Structure 1
Amino acid sequence: MNISGNTIFIPGATSGIGLALALRLHDRGNTVIVGGRREDRLAAIAAEHPGISSVRIDTADADSIDTAARTVLSAHPDLNVVIAMAGIMRAEDWTTREGFLATAEETVVTNILGPIRLIGAFIEHLRAQPDATIMTVSSGLAFAPLRVTPTYNASKAAIHMLSESLRLQFAGTSVSVLELEPPAVRTALMPGHEENESAMPLDEFVDEVTSLLENQPDATEIQVERVKFLRYGEARGDYATVVATLNRTDPHTR
């Protein structure tokens, strides 16, 4: 993915990693459209950052995705990058019959069906572009499980394999598939996450991601150094240690 000269749609960019990345990509000379559910946040972002436009989208709602796709493509026919940023992370306790199933289903709809539907809504347009990118967002927890978020872990593992599979299908076409794999980052993804001192500061994370995008334009996975402990535990042969360390040090590590 080239770091500049793109037209980029980022659903899930009203806060956290999505917003920080949207601002950084805008500063690098890209046309950026942010998407989210809260119209007040979308309006505030557009007002505070001239040149960034916004579209309401709820990625848990198939009709909302279709409507947003039509709106974005009508206003930005040169769109060539879609970043499927929107996602949720919820704690679950499967040792009790109460509460976990609704949370698990909501996570699957948002974190798996959402990106699938989003890519489906834009893929025909992207395939017609001379150079296009789909960026998915998985997690270090796709490769090592956090005990308190089983469905989140599974959803991100699914996104990793979806990314791998789509990359095979689009090989030789104008569409690249790029997977962003965050470690724990100080955002509001879960309660208390923004104050988590063991998590990576947001600005530091986005700085490193931007540098990787710039210096590795042909990369297939964007991995900051901090995520490699989780990403490569099995390959290194210390997977059990990684899992034990992850679940001993921080109950809210992404």
Structure 2
Amino acid sequence: MDISGNTIFIPGSTSGIGLTLAVALHDRGNTVIVGGRRADLLERIAAEHPGIGTVQIDTADAASIEAAAKDVLARYPDLNVLVTMAGIMRVEDWHRPESFLASAEAVVTTNLLGTIRLIAAFVEHLRAQPDATIVTVSSGLAFAPLKATPSYNASKAAVHMLSESIRLQLADTSVKVVELEPPSVRTSLLPGQEDSEAAMPLDEFVAEVVELFETQPDAKEIQVERVKFLRYGEARGDYDQVVARLNASDPHGK
């Protein structure tokens, strides 16, 4: 993906990685639109970051995705990049189904179905662009499981394989598929994660991601150095040790 001159929609970007990435990409000369559920946050972003567009969207709601897509494409017909940023992470105890089932369903709906529905809403438009990119967002936990978050791990593993598969299907089009694989980053994804010394500082993560987009424009996976411990455990032959270390240290995954 070229690092400038794009029109980029990032649903799920009113805070954390999404918002920080949106601001960084806007600063690099892109037209950026952020999406989120809360109107008050969108209004604040518009006031604090002039030039960044906003649209209300609930990525857990199929009708909301459809309505937001129509709005975005009507206002930004040159849209050529979709970043499926929205995601939630929940701690679950699978000893008791009454304690995890609703949570698991919410995680899968947002992280996996949300990604699928977003791509479905925009892929026809993107195929009509001379150069377009879908950026999916998985996780280092797609490749090594954190015991406390089974549904999150599974949803992100599914996003990884979805990315691999649709990349093959869209190879005959102008649409590239790039998978962003964050490690644990200092955001509010889980309680306490913003202050976790074991998690990667947010600004540091986004700066490295932007650098990778710039220096590796044809990359299929965007991997900061810190995620490679999780990403390549199986290939290195130390998967069991990776999983043991992951689950013996920080509850947020690194």
TM-score, normalised with respect to structure 2: 0.99
The structure 1 segments of at least 4 consecutive aligned residues displaced by more than 4 Å after TM superposition are: none
In structure 1, what is the equivalent of residue 246 of structure 2? 246
Q: 3-state SS of the aligned residue for 1:135?
A: strand
Cα deviations by residue, 1:49-85 (Å, 9 ceiling, x for unpaired)? 1100100000000000000000000000000000000
Task: Report the Cα offset of residue 253 of structure 1.
Answer: 1.7
Structure 1 counterpart of 2:170: 170
**How large is the RMSD of aligned CA atoms in angstroms?**
0.6
TM-score using structure 1 length: 0.99
- Structure 2: how far apart are the matches of 1:117 and 1:242? 33
1:230, 1:99 → 2: CA distance?
A: 28
Q: In the alignment, what sits opposite 2:60?
A: 60
Match of 1:200 in 2: 200
Q: CA deviation at 1:20?
A: 0.4
Deviation per residue, 1:18-65 (Å, 9 max, x gap): 000000000000000000001000000011111001000000000000
Q: Distance in 2 between matches of 1:124 and 1:210?
A: 26
2:50: which partner in 1?
A: 50
Aligned equivalents of 2:200, 2:189: Cα separation in 1: 13
- Looking at structure 2, the residues matched to 96 and 56 of structure 1 have their Cα atoms a distance apart, in angstroms, of 36
Superposed CA offset, 1:84-118 (max 9, x none): 00000000000123320000000010000001000
Count of aligned residue pairs for this structure pair: 254
Counterpart position of 2:89: 89
Q: Which runs of 5+ in 1 are unaligned?
A: none
Mapping 1:2-151, distance limit 5 Å: 2-151=2-151
Specify the SS of the correspondent of 1:98.
Answer: helix
Partners of 1:113 and 1:15 in 2: CA distance: 21
SS at match of 2:26: helix
SS at match of 1:8: strand
The CA distance in 1 between the partners of 2:91 and 2:53, in whole Å, is 33
Identity %: 74
SS at match of 1:102: helix
Distance 1:44 1:198 in 2: 30
- Give the conservation status (yes or no) of the 8 Å contact 2:181–2:222: yes
Q: Which amino acid aligns with 1:41?
A: L
Deviation at 1:172, TM superposition (A): 2.8
Counterpart-to-counterpart distance in 2, 1:38 and 1:140: 28
Question: In the aligned structure 1, how far is the partner of 2:117 from the partner of 2:202?
Answer: 28
- Counterparts of 1:229 and 1:252, CA distance in 2: 15
